[in-house]
Amino acid sequence: MEGPAFNYIELLNDPSLVVCKQCQHAIWPKEVSRHFHDAEHDLSRETVGQIVTTVEELPGLTQDSTQLNVPVAVERAFTSLRLRRDGLLCQIEPARCHYVCTTEDVMRKHLRQVHRASRYRRKGRPTKRQQKRQETAGDPVSWISVVCQRFFPSRQGSRYFQVRRSDEGRPRTADRIVPVWNQAVQIMGEKVKQAAAEQQRVIAEGSAREVNQWLERAGWHKYLVGLEVDKLLDCVAEPDEETERELWMIWRGMDDMVQECQKTVVERAGLHLRFEAVRTEQQQTRYTPLQGYMDRKAVVKHARPWKQILMFIGRTREEREWRKPKYKLKKEQKKAWKHLWRAAGSAYMRTQEVLDKESDEDGGEGPAQDERPPNALSQACLTFCFTLLRKQYVQTEYDNVLICGLAVLGVRASGGWTGADGYPPILSKMIKIARFMVIEQTFRERGPDISDSSSDDRSSESNTDSEPEDQDRPDCLTLVRKYMNEFMIRGTNGAM
Ligand SMILES: [Zn+2]
Ligand SMILES: [Zn+2]
């Protein structure tokens, strides 16, 4: 599901609830406006309006507590709800009572009131000595520690429930493997929030607000502080055809590639695939499948942030003389970049050689690049973009070129920061195009060779989605699911 509102909310599927990403708890539909208007969220009136409208248009939401069934336990955590590791589960009558709370005092109260357990009548915690005596005396266990969650922070619906399979066993430090996309989105969200708060404060105080100062406060300094704003803006600008031939070709190759993606999404991908491609949580079913853009021209416009990221990489790699943001490319990324650069070079040569011939072949349809079959350059673009998204071992957030590039996209010409209103649209375009790429990659990987593609094969594929015609190749749905799990789904590595 798309739209700026989804930078602030997520949807649960069962029960159907809207969750505030910042607070990590659900909000009743009728309370959405009030919830987001408070100072904690620091959103513009317009943004809140967008969220309210979006929620109003969502079908089938649980409206109030009379419609809400709080489970006694769930197998897997809801990734958008806060995960509490300090839960206590009543063990007096485990088959009948599933009571969960988070403090011993509240548990004792429950034991007294519900189970009439006399030894908990006394107020207060037992002393260390009493506790020791109880433990060594082999008292039956009254409660156990569990991981738990709840939908709402108060009133109805705030009952805790146990999460049976938490990710307790996984490493919880920063060196775990994180889907790079999750990480980028999460970090950017944080930074934008901090930066926006900082900007407001600085302006209010009437003090200096040049980019360096508050980039530093916002935590970007490792990358961007001390770098010239003009240079940063230059390195994400549209390339010059005469002087930057490879970049110019890559820019156009990206246009070709996203238009091929759009075409595939609209013409070949079935409903199942498009639903799969908008999933943001592992257990979730979204209400609306991935949509192509209404206007095919809009595709090119929406691909701009991606193109800018590639320009950023190109210029920081190929130009040596200026002080530039630091990032590292992984081996796989370097290889794909080299390949892309070469493909761009030879594509440029080709355009010079066969310019006339090609315009004949196009049959006078105008530039219509989207009508051409996928070419080597657009394939190289797709391959390289994919390496940016892949799951990888991330040492620090700043090692990641995608995050670094996104930081640069946040720099404004006036020397300020794009801020909380300007940034989410950039991210949402990045994400939507990334979803397009997942589908496109899937079809290219699964589909017949471009050279021998028959239209029959294609149409049968688009209609079935999940039925492989030959057993050796994974079907499209499996591939999309694999990629979505790898880098698009949030929370696949446990609660953040
Ligand atoms: Zn909230
Ligand atoms: Zn109980």
From the CA of 96, which ligand is nearest?
Answer: 2
Q: What pLDDT sits at residue 85?
A: 85
Q: What pLDDT sits at residue 417?
A: 58
Q: Kindly give the distance from the C-alpha atom of residue 13 to the centroid of ligand 1, in angstroms, as a whole number.
A: 19
The model's pLDDT over 129-163, given as tens digits with 9 standing for 90+, comes to 555 555 444 456 788 888 999 999 988 889 999 99
From the CA of 19, which ligand is nearest?
Answer: 1
Q: What pLDDT sits at residue 473?
A: 57
From the CA of 22, which ligand is nearest?
Answer: 1
Q: What mean pLDDT do residues 62-66 have?
A: 89
From the CA of 107, which ligand is nearest?
Answer: 2
Q: What pLDDT sits at residue 166?
A: 62
Q: What pLDDT sits at residue 294?
A: 58
Across the chain, what does the average pLDDT equal? 71
Q: Which residue has the higher pLDDT, 49 or 368?
A: 49
From the CA of 113, which ligand is nearest?
Answer: 2
Q: Which residue has the higher pLDDT, 477 or 415?
A: 477
Q: Kindly give the distance from the C-alpha atom of residue 1 to the centroid of ligand 1, in angstroms, as a whole number.
A: 19
Band the pLDDT of 32: cuts 50, 70, 90.
Answer: very high
% pLDDT > 90, the chain = 19
Q: What pLDDT sits at residue 169?
A: 39
The model's pLDDT over 196-231, given as tens digits with 9 standing for 90+, comes to 555 444 333 322 233 334 334 444 545 565 566 777
The model's pLDDT over 263-280, given as tens digits with 9 standing for 90+, comes to 888 887 777 777 777 665
Q: What mean pLDDT do residues 278-290 have?
A: 57
CA distance 60 to 44: 27
Q: Kindly give the distance from the C-alpha atom of residue 112 to the centroid of ligand 2, in angstroms, as a whole number.
A: 9
Q: Kindly give the distance from the C-alpha atom of residue 210 to the centroid of ligand 1, in angstroms, as a whole number.
A: 30
The model's pLDDT over 91-115, given as tens digits with 9 standing for 90+, comes to 888 888 999 999 988 998 998 888 8
Q: Which residue has the higher pLDDT, 402 or 244?
A: 244
Q: What pLDDT sits at residue 389?
A: 76
From the CA of 95, which ligand is nearest?
Answer: 2
Q: What is the pTM of this model?
A: 0.51
Band the pLDDT of 416: cuts 50, 70, 90.
Answer: low
The model's pLDDT over 363-390, given as tens digits with 9 standing for 90+, comes to 444 444 444 445 889 999 999 998 887 7
The model's pLDDT over 426-469, given as tens digits with 9 standing for 90+, comes to 777 777 788 888 888 888 877 654 333 333 333 443 444 444 44
Q: Is the pLDDT of residue 391 over 60?
A: no
% pLDDT > 70, the chain = 60
CB within 8 Å of 402: residues ≥ 6 apart: 180, 181, 184, 309, 388, 389
Q: Kindly give the distance from the C-alpha atom of residue 169 to the centroid of ligand 2, in angstroms, as a whole number.
A: 27
Q: Kindly give the distance from the C-alpha atom of residue 27 to the centroid of ligand 1, in angstroms, as a whole number.
A: 8
From the CA of 142, which ligand is nearest?
Answer: 2
Segment among 222-231, 335-344, 349-358, 399-408 with least mean pLDDT: 222-231
Q: Is the pLDDT of residue 281 over 80?
A: no
